[in-house]
Amino acid sequence: MSKALVLLAEGVEEMEVVIVIDVLRRAGVEVIGAATGEGLEVTASRGVRIVADAGLKDLSADGFDALIIPGGANGARRLAADARVLDLVRAFVRQNKWVAAVCAGPLVLDAAGVLSGIRMTCHPSVRQGFKNACNDRVVEDGRFITSQGPGTSMEFALAIARRLCGDRIADTVASGLILLATVS
């Protein structure tokens, strides 16, 4: 079973967290939401409270196959300012593991210095700072998966599921969510 780590900070975009965790769990991925603050409860960008599974201080890249960085401008800025998060991003990259970021989440990858030469996408509000950014909804380049925002979260989550679990499982999840046309 694949295992993914989703980073949670105050101000994170709730749709990008909940959709990704839900889709990956439907695909059979063990997902751990890790709070970067003192407690396990995080208040997201629209006031939704999310309870993390663990604190980041208790975790490392070991045992995980993917790192997922949600956006939300304030959440992404908090993650990008956290030295532990930047070290974790670099560890995932060094270990050739999947690294995925959505919306403003690529700001964290940029702060970690791992985006050189990587084709990516992000929310239009932060795109001007990236040389290799494009306007695609989801972009995969090497072991990086990036996406634009809340409205692309399903596609983003399914792209991660496809890499961690394979096409058949990702298609089964998409079909169950009524995202793929079914044959009658």
Active site residues: 103
Q: Which two tokens stand for residue 49?
A: 């409270």
Q: Which two tokens stand for residue 89?
A: 């991003």
Largest Cα–Cα distance in the chain? 52
* Structure-token match 């996406």, residue found: 147
